[in-house]
Structure 1
Amino acid sequence: MDFSYRNKNFIRIYGLIDRFKAVINPGVLLLIVAIITLVIANSSLNEWYQSLWTLDFFVGFGDFNLLSHHGHPFTSLQLINDGIMTIFFFTVGLEIKREVMVGELSSFRQAILPIIAAVGGMIIPVLLFLITGNIQGFTPEEMKGVAIPMATDIAFSIGVLSLLGKRVPVSLKIFLLTLAIADDIGGILVIALFYSNFSTTAILELALSLVFFGLLLLGNKLRINNKLFYFLNGLIIWYLFLQAGIHPTIAGVLVAFTVPARPYINLKKFTEGMEQDLSVLRSTLKNAPNDNIILSNTQVRYLTRIEAASDHVISPLQDLEDNLRDLVNYIIMPLFAFANAGVIIDISNFALFSGISLSIMIGLIVGKFAGIFLFTFLAIKLRISRQPNGMTWSNLAGVSLLGGIGFTVALFLAGLSYPLGSYVLNDAKLGIVFGSLIAGIAGYFTLKITLKKTKSE
């Protein structure tokens, strides 16, 4: 029997959403949005496109505006980058916590190889950016983008890998996923340490945010599983971080670490209680007519008990991660891409193979590949870790290339590194888009050639 708790009035809409998700994975969707954005930004619609990101927002009362920084209201672009993207980083935090507790990062032996690979994939691109930047005579302002090519886009890279279907060994998927998560941790640390502006007045705001963070830790300790409790305190921490000069998306990660990973009711207790409640419900059916559409008070009471208990058998961490996944993959990340991938391509002065664009492209394509591959190779040869089953040097090369798909986090770091509307930011985005595209295509075809076909293919 198929139980569906979806509203029947919207069943067609739900069906369309499910079919859309089945046909287009998040990585492909990001690619489509990026291409559409490039076309719009380089057409007669560019003026309209640019005007979308200068709208001011107000959420508050009187003189208080939640969406403001030191009295300046958020523009639509800031709302996306500093506000909505906090949800993306919140889900990254949830994913990291889950992986540390029960996933690939819970075991040192399992985690060490992709972590070493991620470290290599961050160090080498940064070094190549510094080397090429010095050769080209970058100014100190241009050097601020040194961290841009160290990023790996989880959704994009996993999305490209999924296009190869069942021929991809499970160990290879786990390796890339864990590598991308470790890479995200590195990116979060970089944002926190190098892209946050501290001031003397920020100390009080930071101290106050730590009080609310302490409340969340206490709530976790006391097994408070109410998601509204974590949302409201998290919102306050986000606002205080914003005013203190700490990048507010870091608040999303820190709040995620406080969300309880243990359910209020364990599964064994739930099933035992469910059996008792179902036994009572069965007893109420003995004398009830088959076509009875009105439930008795006893039936309503016990069905309500079952519903309430089922809400407590799934931990807030799992529940939030599951519910936010589609929102992040199919709305937030495409929206971010649409707002940030609008690179203007000037054919008369094409800067792709010089300056910032070239350094970022070299970092993403050459640096990520070399860093991931070489550090993994050395870790295995030096017996720090063993080579996973199904991993060969040739398919490792393909995965190392996929690590060069920086896109989302790289665009995010570019926006933090360079002034809005500057030619340097446009050149940085140009390098990110084309570097990610080349790395993705190269990685896909390398894996397509090296991975064995399944019988169904």
Structure 2
Amino acid sequence: MVKTPEPIRAPIRALFAPVRALFVGDASAGILLILVAAAAMLLANSTLSHEYHELFHGTLGFTPVTKLNTLHLWVNDGLMAIFFFVVGLEVKREWIEGQLSSADQRRLPVLAAVAGMIVPAGVYLFFVQGAAPELAQGWAIPAATDIAFAMGVLGLLGNRVPASLRLFLLTVAIVDDIGAVLIIAVAYTAGIKLTWLIGAIVIVGIMLALNRMRVKTVVPFLILAIALWFFVLNSGVHATIAGVVAALTIPMVGKDDNTMLEKLEHGLAPWSAYLIVPVFGFANAGVDLSDLGMEGVLAPLPLAIAAGLFLGKQVGIVAAIFAADKIDFAPRPHGASWAEIWGVSILCGIGFTMSLFIGELAFPGYRLLIDEAKIGILLGSACSAVLGYTILRMTTKHPGDTQGLAKES
């Protein structure tokens, strides 16, 4: 068998590295999101457009929950509650024994995440000033970062990116999720129905009591979590908040070395990443561009969201890291250059899942504004993904590159 010379194999490996990365590591979930978003856009602008929209927005012949009478509502208010439950489990684990467990570890990602939410919101409000007053309700849309999408793009780079930057991106995205959940609970809550809310509070109290009693079986927690979701759904608070609250009551105890929380997280995380989030993306990313036209694509709303994600995120996060490093509040990620930090900060502008979710909440009943918001989210996320990947590809070195240089010298 003829062996290909190393000088030929090296450029071939470099050429096909991104292709290999699609199927391994952190990239797969992000790539799946890209594919389902593309599929949704293609269907929404094809001869099957009516069938696509009817599938998700047509009234169901039967539904066990009267408030959820379309498949779209079941996805957004039902399936996504499980997504938020997994987010809550991850946040609790990281806060108790992970990368957010000490004040020193929390300083930089918390500061960067807060700046990465405030600045995009400010950019958004700057772009929509003077436009329709209801557009101000969308200020939080560009404030969120999509963990799977951003980590997926980072995964395409293999082990080029320093481990400290990968950890930084993950922790910023986790803190970002906490902020997004608080925003949804406070800013996008409808009229409160007190009876249902009191019932939800009672259920949370029972779950906390089970936690304090160190109950080691998961069944009562899951039954109460479903009941909590139903009560919160009817209370006026968005139903997905029930997922986060329920997760925070899950105890860090178990019958063996793995805690109940870890078992649930490990069991549900793949379903969330590879089923729930893609289904959500497929149900929400499709926009019929013929209804918008170029005027709709270039309207104040999509431009404001795209600018918030693409410009606001990177400016806010880089500025926060630079200031923290200069005043010795928190050092920048170990072993990372400022160019690499800039590249990762741009990746934080990939909003997709959480941004699409907030977009639906920000403009209830305004189908045109929701579609315009989706265009802005897709545009801003795509620009952030492409530029962030390009900068990191140009400024980072693969370990193999370094070894090759050492041999030549």
Task: Give the alignment's TM-score, normalised by structure 1.
Answer: 0.80
Q: How does 1:170-209 map to 2 (within 5 A)?
A: 170-199=163-192, 202-209=193-200
Is the CA contact 1:196–1:247 (under 8 Å) kept in the aligned structure 2? Answer: yes
Which amino acid counterpart does residue 366 of structure 1 have in structure 2?
L
Say yes or no: does 1:369 pair with 2:369: no
Secondary structure of the structure 2 residue equivalent to 1:166: coil
User: 1:164-210 deviations in whole A, cap 9, x for unaligned?
Assistant: 111111100110000000000000000000111133xx112111111
Say yes or no: does 1:75 pair with 2:73: no
Aligned to 1:225: 216
Bigger-Rg structure (1/2): 1
Aligned to 1:56: 60
Q: Percent identity?
A: 40
Say yes or no: does 1:445 pair with 2:383: no
- Distance of 2:388 and 2:250 partners within structure 1: 36
- Distance of 1:194 and 1:348 partners within structure 2: 31
Say yes or no: does 1:243 pair with 2:234: yes
Is the CA contact 1:57–1:75 (under 8 Å) kept in the aligned structure 2? Answer: no
Q: How does 1:277-296 map to 2 (within 5 A)?
A: none
Aligned to 2:17: none
Change in 2 beyond 3 A, CA 1:80/1:392? same
Is the CA contact 2:77–2:240 (under 8 Å) kept in the aligned structure 1? Answer: yes
Q: 376-385 or 50-59, which moves further after superposition? A: 50-59
- Distance of 2:318 and 2:24 partners within structure 1: 32
- Distance of 1:227 and 1:205 partners within structure 2: 25
Say yes or no: does 1:411 pair with 2:356: yes
- Distance of 1:38 and 1:232 partners within structure 2: 37
Shift in Å at residue 31 of structure 1? 0.4
Secondary structure of the structure 2 residue equivalent to 1:117: helix
- Distance of 1:87 and 1:406 partners within structure 2: 19
Q: How does 1:425-436 map to 2 (within 5 A)?
A: 425-436=370-381
Aligned CA-pair RMSD = 1.8
- Distance of 2:298 and 2:310 partners within structure 1: 13
Which amino acid counterpart does residue 100 of structure 1 have in structure 2?
W
- Distance of 1:250 and 1:336 partners within structure 2: 17
Choose which of 100, 116, 130 in structure 2 pairs with 1:121. 116
Secondary structure of the structure 2 residue equivalent to 1:167: coil
Is the CA contact 2:165–2:336 (under 8 Å) kept in the aligned structure 1? Answer: yes
Aligned to 2:99: 104
Choose which of 123, 130, 133 in structure 1 pairs with 2:125. 130
- Distance of 1:253 and 1:117 partners within structure 2: 22
Secondary structure of the structure 2 residue equivalent to 1:138: coil
Secondary structure of the structure 2 residue equivalent to 1:165: coil
- Distance of 1:351 and 1:444 partners within structure 2: 28
Choose which of 139, 160, 165 in structure 2 pairs with 1:146. 139
Which amino acid counterpart does residue 288 of structure 2 have in structure 1?
I
Change in 2 beyond 3 A, CA 1:51/1:420? farther
Which amino acid counterpart does residue 451 of structure 1 have in structure 2?
T
Is the CA contact 1:57–1:76 (under 8 Å) kept in the aligned structure 2? Answer: no
Aligned to 1:298: none
Task: Give the alignment's TM-score, normalised by structure 2.
Answer: 0.89
Paired positions, count:
379
- Distance of 1:68 and 1:196 partners within structure 2: 19
Segments of structure 1 that go 5 or more residues without pairing to the other structure are 1-18, 60-64, 265-311
User: 1:74-112 deviations in whole A, cap 9, x for unaligned?
Assistant: 310000000000000000000000000111110111121
Aligned to 1:158: 151
Choose which of 28, 31, 35 in structure 1 pairs with 2:34. 31
Aligned to 2:3: none
Shift in Å at residue 20 of structure 1? 9.6
Aligned to 2:9: none
Aligned to 1:285: none
Is the CA contact 2:36–2:281 (under 8 Å) kept in the aligned structure 1? Answer: yes
Secondary structure of the structure 1 residue equivalent to 2:336: coil
Secondary structure of the structure 1 residue equivalent to 2:296: coil
Change in 2 beyond 3 A, CA 1:260/1:57? farther
Shift in Å at residue 420 of structure 1? 4.8
- Distance of 2:22 and 2:151 partners within structure 1: 18
Which amino acid counterpart does residue 116 of structure 2 have in structure 1?
G
Choose which of 335, 340, 361 in structure 2 pairs with 1:395. 340
